[in-house]
Amino acid sequence: MNKEIIRKTDPIQRRKERLSRGLARSTQTALADLEESPDLPRSMGYFINIMRDVFADGRKDRLFRPTGFQSVNPKKVIGTYCIMVPEELIYAAGAIPVRLCGGSDETSGIGGELVPRDTCPVVKSSVGFTSLDLISLYGICDAVIVPTTCDAKRKMGEVLSSFTNVWMLEVPHVKETEGARKQWLLHITALKRDFEKLTGRKIRRKALQTAIRMIAGAQYEARRLHEIRKSKAPVILGREAMLALNAYGYDTAFEWTKAMARLNHELEQRRDKGRVVAGPNAPRVLISGCPPIFPNWKILSLIEEMGAVTVADESCMGSRYLYDPIGIAEKSMRHMMTGIASRYLMPCVCPSFAPNEDRLYRLLQMTDEFDISGIIYHVLKGCVTYDFELIRVEKIMKEKNIPVLRIETDYSPEDIEQLRTRIEAFVEMIGMKKSKMKRG
Ligand code: SF4
Ligand code: SF4
């Protein structure tokens, strides 16, 4: 039988093609929503193209862009989940990191056949992407690192190991103890050795220093965007800013930083000229909870469709990813490794840690800094980890008189009308509250 006939009659292949088309459609829909905006900053084109290349066209050359290490031609790709894997070590070993947390409804359905029904869609989608090899992002990874964060992610590692080369990274759940910190440093040191073995390249002090500087450059630009989003009248929509931040996971830090610097420059010019995307009276929303992962732009789009602007996010696919810099006392290998280990553990406020008081402080601080009118707390179905922390978030926000709306959903578009109604009512309420406060 010739290859074309096999392709047409093979049910798995047919299913794969159908899902590929579905994913391309969801990607185009999410991107068209952004591209149709008359206020879209010119520099957003770069980030939109990343998403199109990765999710709609499945282009792997997108991932082999310059890394900033001119002498290295990276051949190894390391897939990462969550935000505890030190990218500095990956770059210094001569490889490229890519972020694999899934945000697609199409692959969530497939993953759902391999994990328990009530698992969150991030895990279902990640499993679906890997098992079907739908886009090159997942297939080209030489190793995939799964930190043992929440229960779902931990068990996901086992499932993924039937399809790909999985390395589990043990993350302590209580980070304040001396023992946990020592253990973590040992794990990170072991990971460094594994990277060296995989790439055949020893991590030298100079290369690590360069990698630390490079990621610090990306963090600088991410924080610059963060500052811009504080302006009284917003100059960028939240769904655009989140897309640019999400795109970091699919680009090299070196290229992304240059593109983000261009975007920031354009936004600062807009701010100086008073070119805004909404007036100072528009309700200002902070999105918190489970991460919005492309192409699942459902909640982000609905918030802004209703006239509010998402001016801040507290998400591991957004600001939290690139916020905290590495503090290094000396540039010896030992100090750099300690600084890296500390950076990827201590400031992280992923709800898989307990206690996680820092997250509450951070949220409180953000509501002041961004002059937040209301919080949308995004809970993906099956995610108890985030839901557990909601009660305390609601309590502290009640004391500050900041309304919180809990939205429980998944990646399917089926509940969109119901969500629209709830978000519309919430935006209207916080808008009225804001005007009332202004009138005094
Ligand atoms: S919230 Fe924590 S466990 Fe969930 S995806 Fe983000 S880093 Fe991973
Ligand atoms: S923290 Fe929640 S959303 Fe994130 S992987 Fe775990 S269960 Fe899923």
187: in domain: yes
Q: Is the peptide bond before 280 cis (omega within 30 degrees of 0)?
A: no
Average pLDDT over residues 409-425: 97
Average pLDDT over residues 52-76: 75
Is residue 121 in contact with ligand 1, taking CB distance under 6 Å? no
pLDDT tens string 261-290: 999 999 999 999 999 999 999 999 999 999
At 228, list the tokens: 């811009």
- Which of 421, 420, 298, 422 shows the shortest CA–CA distance to 29? 298
Distance from Cα 75 to the centre of ligand 2, integer Å: 31
Instruction: Using most ligand atoms within 8 A of CB, pick from 150, 321, 409 the residue to mutate for ligand 2.
Output: 150
Distance from Cα 384 to the centre of ligand 2, integer Å: 8
122 near 101, Cβ under 8 Å? Answer: yes
Number of domains in the chain: 1
pLDDT at 6 over 80: no
Which ligand 2 atom is nearest residue 382's CA? 7
Is residue 352 in contact with ligand 1, taking CB distance under 6 Å? yes
272: in domain: yes
Nearest CA to ligand 1 atom 7: 82
At 301, list the tokens: 């789009």
Of 8 and 41, more confident: 41
Q: In a 10 Å sphere around its CB, with 0-12 CB exposed, 13-18 middle and 19+ buried, how is residue 4 labelled?
A: exposed
pLDDT tens string 358-411: 999 999 999 999 999 999 999 999 999 999 999 999 999 999 999 999 999 999
| Structure letter (DSSP) for residue 164 | S
At 137, list the tokens: 């992002």
- Write down the mean pLDDT value for the chain: 93
Query: Rounded to an integer, what distance in angstroms lies between the CA atom of residue 325 and that of residue 219?
Result: 7
pLDDT tens string 80-93: 999 999 999 999 99
Helices marked H in 229-380? 238-246, 253-273, 298-305, 333-343, 357-369
Which ligand 2 atom is nearest residue 351's CA? 1
Is residue 115 in contact with ligand 1, taking CB distance under 6 Å? no
76: in domain: yes
296 near 260, Cβ under 8 Å? Answer: no
4: in domain: no
Compute and round to an integer the Cα radius of gyration of the chain: 21
- Which of 192, 207, 229 shows the shortest CA–CA distance to 344? 192
Of 134 and 34, more confident: 34
Range of lowest pLDDT (66-75, 222-231, 367-376, 385-394): 66-75
Which residues on neighbouring strands pair with residue 289, listed in sequence order?
Answer: 378
pLDDT tens string 17-26: 999 999 999 9
State how far the alpha carbon of 72 is from the alpha carbons of 64, 68, 84, 178, in Å: 12, 9, 25, 37
For residue 2, the model assigns a pLDDT of 59
pLDDT tens string 325-360: 898 878 899 999 999 999 999 999 999 999 999 999
- Which of 350, 413, 365 shows the shortest CA–CA distance to 152? 350
Is residue 146 in contact with ligand 1, taking CB distance under 6 Å? no
Query: Rounded to an integer, what distance in angstroms lies between the CA atom of residue 57 and that of residue 130?
Result: 17
Buried b (16+ CB within 10 A) or exposed e, 388-411: ebbeebeeebeeeebbbbbbbbbb
2: in domain: no
Distance from Cα 318 to the centre of ligand 2, integer Å: 15
Is residue 156 in contact with ligand 1, taking CB distance under 6 Å? no
Q: Report the amino acid identity of residue 180.
A: A
3: in domain: no
378 near 290, Cβ under 8 Å? Answer: yes
Query: Rounded to an integer, what distance in angstroms lies between the CA atom of residue 372 and that of residue 169?
Result: 36
Residue 13 pLDDT class (50, 70, 90 cuts): confident
At 126, list the tokens: 């990640």
Is residue 345 in contact with ligand 1, taking CB distance under 6 Å? no
Q: Which residue range is the domain that position 433 belongs to?
A: 9-439
1: in domain: no
Q: Tell me which residues have their CB closer than 6 angstroms to ligand 2.
A: 120, 122-123, 150, 152-153, 290, 380, 383, 385-386
pLDDT tens string 172-217: 999 989 999 999 999 999 999 999 999 999 999 999 999 999 999 9
| Structure letter (DSSP) for residue 383 | -
pTM: 0.95
Is residue 85 in contact with ligand 1, taking CB distance under 6 Å? no
For residue 12, the model assigns a pLDDT of 81
Is residue 148 in contact with ligand 1, taking CB distance under 6 Å? no
For residue 9, the model assigns a pLDDT of 64
For residue 437, the model assigns a pLDDT of 84
Query: Rounded to an integer, what distance in angstroms lies between the CA atom of residue 380 and that of residue 401?
Result: 25
pLDDT tens string 105-163: 999 999 999 999 999 999 999 999 999 988 999 999 999 999 999 999 999 999 999 99
DSSP string, 347-376: T---TTSSS-HHHHHHHHHHHHHTT-SEEE
